[in-house]
Chain A
Amino acid sequence: MTSKSPARRRVLPPVLAAVLSLPLAACGGNLSSGGAEFPSGPVTMLVGQAPGGSTDLIGRALADGAANDLGVAMPVVNTPGANGALAANELAGAQPDGQHVLVLNASLTSITPLAVAPEEAVDINDFEVITGVSQDDYVLVANTASGLRSVPDLTRAGRDLKFATTGVGTGSQLAQELLFEQAGIAGTAVPFDGGSPAMTAVLGDQVDVAAIQLGEAIGQIEAGRLTPIATFAAQRSRYLPDTPTAVEQGYDVRVSQFRAIVAPKGTPPERVERLRKAFQATFAAERYRKFNEDNLLTPHEVDGAQVAQEWTSSLERYRAMTQQYGIDLGGPK
């Protein structure tokens, strides 16, 4: 990964955020300036997505709990851009002192590299992974009125199906391309700008199906306006127990969004460990568990080494599969 613009330490925290977080930060911040003590002040949590998305909400829920355990404030700083690559670059250029962490999306390191230029690809092995966080499942949905209820229905449709994706180089696109290729369904990818517009296109009958995150779709599924056709995780989601996975239906499509907390390469191991403890304390809290339930997230709180291994092998697997089926994530079909 080449960092073209060296990320500077922030000297100018957003004034309003600072003012508003004063009441929140008043939970016993012992701001000693001893170099050996950790943490020696607020731990900044970078989020590479805009405020309000699921990554941002996860980051805020974790920062909330970890700040209590560490006894210092943990301000969340959003640096959206390039699917999160901007924030990843910024973290890579930050001091490896444990005072900066990032919420990283697995898709940025295991799917996006297949769609962008090699020098822009982000590698999970360029970071110290503190801990895995959770798994966010994709579900393939169709408009209930269309009568499409299963993968065989799609095969029988006998026309070029339009499938909405949440963008180029996303898990949503990869999952659908793989399924359509393996099932021999003729389809055209129509990229939208995120999950909500993709779902709206299905509801408005502009496209036939879309793969979106479970949390975004569940309301419309429960209201009976969207039919879940398949989920793309290795196992059925406990939030949609009646919907079969693509694997069950005989297609090797395993695409989920995983998230992890990472620190810059070279952060001392004892500090990584201290941060991991803080996040583990959060994982155990009732409030955080309820947050996962509310947002239909499945905890995947494995250690750093396992995260790096899982994400790297996903990248290899996806690379092999896209080559095998002749899928080009960038570029029109």
Chain B
Amino acid sequence: MDLAPVIEGFGVVLEPANLLHCLLGVVIGMLVGVLPGLGPAATIAILLPLTFNVEPVTAIIMLAGIFYGAQYGGTITSVLLRLPGEASSVVTVFDGHALARQGRAGTALGIAAIGSFVGGTASIVALSVLAPLIAGFALDFGPPEYTALALLGILLVATVSNGGRVKALIAACAGLLLATVGRDAFTGTERFTFDLLPLSDGLDFVPIAMGLFGLGEILHNLEQRQRGATTAARVANAWPSRGDLRQSAGAIGRGSVLGFALGVLPGGGATLSSLAAYAVEKRRSKSPERFGHGAVEGVAAPETANNAAATSSFIPLLTLGIPANATMAMIFGALLVQGVTPGPQLVDEDPELFWGVVNSMYLGNVLLLIMSVPLVGLFVKILRVRPTVLAPITVLITLLGVYTVRNSVFDIALVIVFGVLGYLMKKYGFEPGPLVLAFVLGSLLETSLRRSLLLFGGDPAGFFTRPISGTLLVLLAVVALFPLVQRLVRARSR
């Protein structure tokens, strides 16, 4: 590998204009992450006109900063207010918010920041070395492979919940059912829309997650306080201890690898990777019962993975010219406006742009870590605000955040509906996690499966004619059947 352009890329990063825009990007990104609902894609759309007057590399450095900066910020609301702003920080809620309730919000935020930094940085190094090799591999993932991945993901959903297995499965089934709402993507038939036009594209992830987790939580807490139970968190340390770090080191390492690998896949990589990382940690743990009640690994793993995935999702864009998600599509558009066409020829034709953007991410991650440290203390202070004040403000932020996603009053009504549902679920011991994750994976599963069957002319055996989907499905069968076989063998030997 020729190192000269890489080193020149660092030169590009150190130009004052680029330094400034990198800082600007990550600050905006962090704020966007903190505001639930408003995602990086919409922010970039609003800010796009500001980038027309600067150099292409400067513009993309800033836009990239917004994207990975938002991954840092998204954690903050997940931990403190139980409001996941992005699909990729849903799993962080389980242990992150539990830690906050125990007065260890600082620990959770600190671990998340460190994990995010390590995951992001490791991912940049891997991107620099492996990008061209991996690019070819990403194209091998078609509908059949996604079908197998989504199935694997839904199997993992069963392991992330903390309530009873049966209740988790019921919630997951409800999630799968909700995923079918909307105009059928293959026939145009309306399903469960009750003639409401806003439902024709199906339900959106944001109102569901924010209703179930955010509003549901608030309603439930209000009821608890009526009965005199206290939920106010004591704020102790504002930084993870050495023991916490030791405990999460493995999770951070594994999360980096998983996040990088899954982030390369077009569509949904960050969500899948955070879910997979959490499930892996829970599986490996000697004391899985701690998960959901404030296990630091449960924060470290998904937060590391989603940042690693955010970074590696640049690979398909910069090496194949394929945007992997909505935010990447925006950056793709910004490049086109600047007269740069992302594609296989970009590294050779415009090495300054390629390596300038890639290397700027190192700087951005350092800036985010530096910003996170003092801010952790500040954010934790939020928890000292009396619940009677904090609850209405949180509700307001939630409703406002949801409204900004699609400028839709209908979505506000949806949040309220799901808020009530979330409250009822909590009251009767159902976890919202499996429902939300099954909802996200359900639409992926349905569309991929039906697309695959169209490709195979209706023959399900086609899945096993493709190496990747075949391997994944065999693996899935082994994982699913292993406990059964184990039980049978034990029964025989008795």
Is chain B a partner of chain A in the same complex?
yes
Q: Which A residues touch B38, using CB under 8 A? A: 14, 16
Given the interface pairs A16-B46, A20-B47, A21-B46, the reply to whether A52 lies near B326 with Cβ below 8 Å is: yes
Asked if B187 is at the interface of the complex by the 8 Å CB criterion, the answer is yes
Quote the shortest CB–CB distance from A286 to chain B (angstroms).
13
Query: Of the candidates A17, A196, A295, A332, which one forms a contact with B186 in the assembled complex, judged by CB atoms under 8 Å apart?
Result: A332
Query: Of the candidates A15, A80, A222, which one forms a contact with B201 in the assembled complex, judged by CB atoms under 8 Å apart?
Result: A80
What are 18 A-B pairs with beta-carbon distances under 8 A?
A4-B195, A4-B197, A12-B403, A15-B400, A20-B46, A52-B41, A52-B329, A57-B337, A78-B42, A78-B407, A81-B408, A168-B185, A168-B186, A168-B188, A203-B320, A203-B322, A206-B142, A331-B187
Asked if A162 is at the interface of the complex by the 8 Å CB criterion, the answer is yes
Q: Which A residues touch B44, using CB under 8 A? A: 51-52
Please count how many residues in chain B sit with their CB below 8 Å of the partner chain's CB atoms. 61
Asked if B49 is at the interface of the complex by the 8 Å CB criterion, the answer is yes
Q: Which A residues touch B190, using CB under 8 A? A: 117
Asked if B330 is at the interface of the complex by the 8 Å CB criterion, the answer is yes
Query: Of the candidates A85, A169, A331, which one forms a contact with B197 in the assembled complex, judged by CB atoms under 8 Å apart?
Result: A85
Is the pair A332, B187 in contact by a Cβ cutoff of 8 Å?
A: yes
Please count how many residues in chain A sit with their CB below 8 Å of the partner chain's CB atoms. 68
Residue of B at shortest CB range from A222?
B341
Q: Which A residues touch B187, using CB under 8 A? A: 168, 330-332
Residue of B at shortest CB range from A89?
B197
- Scoring A residues 188 to 231 as 1 if CB is less than 8 Å from chain B, else 0, what string do you get? 11111100110111011111000000010011101101000000
Q: Which A residues touch B408, using CB under 8 A? A: 79, 81, 86
Is the pair A294, B339 in contact by a Cβ cutoff of 8 Å?
A: yes
Given the interface pairs A24-B49, A78-B45, A196-B329, the reply to whether A86 lies near B198 with Cβ below 8 Å is: yes
Is the pair B196, A196 in contact by a Cβ cutoff of 8 Å?
A: no
Is the pair B336, A204 in contact by a Cβ cutoff of 8 Å?
A: no
Is the pair A197, B266 in contact by a Cβ cutoff of 8 Å?
A: yes
Tell which of A16, A80, A201, A203 has the most Cβ of chain B within 10 Å.
A16
Q: Which B residues touch A10, using CB under 8 A? A: 407
Asked if A244 is at the interface of the complex by the 8 Å CB criterion, the answer is no
Asked if A82 is at the interface of the complex by the 8 Å CB criterion, the answer is yes
- Scoring B residues 327 to 344 as 1 if CB is less than 8 Å from chain A, else 0, what string do you get? 001100100110101111
Given the interface pairs A20-B46, A220-B343, A294-B339, the reply to whether A116 lies near B406 with Cβ below 8 Å is: no
Q: Which B residues touch A136, using CB under 8 A? A: none
Is the pair A52, B45 in contact by a Cβ cutoff of 8 Å?
A: yes
Q: Which A residues touch B321, using CB under 8 A? A: 219-220, 223
How far is A245 from B198 in the complex, measured between Cα atoms in Å? 37
Quote the shortest CB–CB distance from B90 to chain A (angstroms).
21
Is the pair A79, B407 in contact by a Cβ cutoff of 8 Å?
A: yes
Residue of B at shortest CB range from A116?
B188
Quote the shortest CB–CB distance from B451 to chain A (angstroms).
6
How far is A14 from B342 in the complex, measured between Cα atoms in Å? 32
Q: Which B residues touch A78, using CB under 8 A? A: 42, 45, 406-407
Q: For the A-B complex with A78-B42, A82-B198, A219-B342 known, give 19 more contacts whose Cβ atoms are closer than 8 Å.
A: A4-B196, A4-B197, A14-B407, A17-B404, A20-B46, A81-B197, A81-B201, A86-B198, A116-B188, A168-B188, A188-B454, A191-B451, A192-B451, A193-B447, A201-B143, A203-B322, A204-B142, A206-B143, A207-B455
Q: Which B residues touch A8, using CB under 8 A? A: 409
How far is A115 from B337 in the complex, measured between Cα atoms in Å? 34
How far is A50 from B407 in the complex, measured between Cα atoms in Å? 11
Q: Which A residues touch B455, using CB under 8 A? A: 162, 190, 206-207
Asked if A56 is at the interface of the complex by the 8 Å CB criterion, the answer is yes
Q: Which B residues touch A203, using CB under 8 A? A: 139, 320, 322
Q: Which B residues touch A89, using CB under 8 A? A: 197
Asked if B55 is at the interface of the complex by the 8 Å CB criterion, the answer is no
Quote the shortest CB–CB distance from A108 to chain B (angstroms).
13
Quote the shortest CB–CB distance from A11 to chain B (angstroms).
10
Q: Which A residues touch B320, using CB under 8 A? A: 203
How far is A5 from B330 in the complex, measured between Cα atoms in Å? 31
Is the pair B45, A51 in contact by a Cβ cutoff of 8 Å?
A: yes
Quote the shortest CB–CB distance from B313 to chain A (angstroms).
13
Is the pair A197, B197 in contact by a Cβ cutoff of 8 Å?
A: no
Quote the shortest CB–CB distance from B52 to chain A (angstroms).
9
Q: Which of B40-60 contact A (CB under 8 A)?
A: 41-49
Is the pair A81, B200 in contact by a Cβ cutoff of 8 Å?
A: yes
